[in-house]
Structure 1
Amino acid sequence: MSDVRHVLVLPDRDAAQEAAEALRERFGTEEEPRLVRDALAGEDDAEDAQWLLVLEDADGRLDAAALDAFAGEWDGWREEP
């Protein structure tokens, strides 16, 4: 089975940090997700950035729809690969 990576896009750092903490409780993930700042194209203001939570899912056990709904709780979404 190939490695699966899920990317959750969140509106700000606080939301990303809260979601990262909640992921472990909700989905039982063992690996800590990576937080990545994603500056919006053409934006110079540091406030205009999205934050990405990158989850490795080598076993393919995380449900894409459930992750999308989870990200929606923080006004975010799951990127399609």
Structure 2
Amino acid sequence: MSDVRHVLVLPDRDAAEEVARELAERFGVGEEPQILRDALAGEDDAEDAQWLVVLADADGRLDPAALDEFAAEYEGWREEP
């Protein structure tokens, strides 16, 4: 099985941390998601960073549409691989 990863893009660190916690409850994610800061190209201001929640889905059991809706609840989105 291929190593599938989902990347959720969130507007701030608080949203990213809340999404990472909520993934276990709502989607039964066992592995701790990775939270990364992604500075926007050409931006020096730390406030202009996006936060990424990277989620391994080796079994391919997570529904991309459900993850899209989930991220949208936090004013974010799911990046297409």
Same fold (TM over 0.5): yes
Residue identity over aligned pairs, in percent, reads 79
Cα distance in 2 between the residues matched to 1:12 and 1:45: 13
- Structure 1, gaps ≥5 residues long: none
Aligned to 2:34: 34
Cα distance in 2 between the residues matched to 1:23 and 1:30: 9
Aligned to 1:46: 46
Cα distance in 1 between the residues matched to 2:3 and 2:21: 23
How big is each residue's C-alpha offset from its partner over 1:13-57, in whole Å with a ceiling of 9 and x where there is no partner? Answer: 000001111110000000000000000011100111000000000
Residue 31 of structure 1: SS of its match in structure 2? coil
Aligned to 2:64: 64
> Scaled by the length of structure 2, what TM-score is found?
0.98
The residue identity in structure 2 corresponding to 1:38 is D
- Structure 2, gaps ≥5 residues long: none
Aligned to 1:23: 23
Q: In the comparison of the two structures, how many residue pairs are matched? A: 81
Cα distance in 2 between the residues matched to 1:43 and 1:56: 29
**Ranges of 4+ aligned residues in structure 1 off by more than 6 Å:** none
> Scaled by the length of structure 1, what TM-score is found?
0.98
